[in-house]
Amino acid sequence: METIIVYLDNMFAGLPKTPELEHLKQELLSGMEEKYLELKLAGKSENEAIGIVISEFGNIEELTAELGIDPVVPEQAIPVLTEEEVYAYAAARRSAGRVSAFSSAHAEWRF
């Protein structure tokens, strides 16, 4: 079920944060959860149920076009990191932590 929530969060990430859109998102989540539970009761595996629910959801661009909702302009969008940027950041943090730990241990050793 967490996969469905993450999917919806990602689909709505580029849209304005308005009460109307939050309400729409909650309604969609409710409908998707109901469908997921129906599929599970019908004997579908978790992965099958999630796949069906997401495929039946459709395209967020089509939905927002029908509702007359414009996506957030790029300057206002939340920045998204690429996978490479995430790994580079994590490596830099790990490296900085080791240097800091080494420096602290070295400083204690000298005294």
Q: What is the identity of the amino acid at 12?
A: F
The angle formed by the CA atoms of residues 6, 11 and 14, to the nearest 5 degrees, is 120
Confidence (pLDDT) at 110: 52
Q: Is pLDDT of 42 > 80? A: yes
Find the Cα–Cα–Cα–Cα dihedral 90, 95, 96, 98, rounded to 10°: 130
* Sign of the CA dihedral running 94, 95, 98, 101: negative
Distance CA 41, CA 47 (A): 14
Judge contact between 3 and 50, C-beta under 8 A.
yes
More confident residue, 84 or 111: 84
Confidence (pLDDT) at 71: 66
